[in-house]
Structure 1
């Protein structure tokens, strides 16, 4: 199983915002530059996460992004379920599968998916930003706004 680029960016945003940033608000442009990703795609990700209530967004001059909760309150399983929109790995009903009545594949895949999320639910955003990751995020923040192109 491979997570989508959307989920990857969502997790990166949350991790980046987990670092204290008292000097200036964190912007989408800043994050896009730091991770060398499309600003337009990042806008969609941030919008989705703000709709989920995970981010506080402030528009306009001096605006930016911030986490809505403490880093320990973000469960990875919950975040990834929402970002991926995963309910099942396969859909036996559409298109209708002729093996559906006697097939064990869906049961096995559902059990595996449940186990995957059970493990992820044991971890929080705080776990993802422990050293050395947190140190790398701090370095990204220290690059300073002077290194960012004006957009």
Structure 2
């Protein structure tokens, strides 16, 4: 079986939230309950994701009656690589120190993996949230909104 690279559930939800709120009318807010229902996400986990994205300045979190979330900027201002880097909050792909690797100092694998990771993020940085909403994606998300 071939292993594949996989983003965390936190990142997956974060990207879905950004995509979902990106089709809202200007100034319109979307509730966490609505997003949770649309993506079958637990409210407590979704709240953590939304709070983190608010701290990053990606979402405006409106409290109180009629509250919810909305994008802080136009979708074209969000670079996917920057978003994924922040949401993933990962350390190096490989840790040569813990447990100590006997190849440390003589191995090129860590450098190669770092280059691959840099290339992955560089490719994502070429694209915006608005790009991700292109094709049929935007239409599907709009239908999700209408189902609310």
Quote the offset at 1:131 in angstroms: 2.6
Point out 4+ residue stretches in structure 1 off by more than 2 angstroms: 20-25
What TM-score results when the alignment is normalised by the length of structure 1? 0.91
Q: How far apart in 2 are the matches of 1:25 and 1:70?
A: 14
Equivalence for 1:148: none
Equivalence for 1:51: 55
Q: Is the 8 A contact 1:27 1:64 kept in 2?
A: yes
Q: Is the 8 A contact 2:23 2:141 kept in 1?
A: yes
Q: Is the 8 A contact 1:27 1:63 kept in 2?
A: yes
Equivalence for 2:136: 132
Q: What is the root-mean-square deviation of aligned Cα atoms in Å?
A: 1.4
Q: Of 30, 37, 51, which residue of structure 2 is paired with 1:33?
A: 37
Unmatched 5+ stretches in structure 2:
none
Count, aligned residues: 144
Mean Cα displacement is larger for which, 101-110 or 21-30?
Answer: 21-30
Equivalence for 2:77: 73
Mean Cα displacement is larger for which, 105-114 or 88-97?
Answer: 88-97
Quote the offset at 1:8 in angstroms: 0.2
Mean Cα displacement is larger for which, 86-95 or 110-119?
Answer: 86-95
Unmatched 5+ stretches in structure 1:
145-151
Q: Is the 8 A contact 1:74 1:125 kept in 2?
A: yes
Q: Is the 8 A contact 1:75 1:125 kept in 2?
A: yes
What TM-score results when the alignment is normalised by the length of structure 2? 0.92
1:58-114 deviation line (CA, Å, top 9, x unaligned): 111011100011101100000000000134211112222111110111011001101
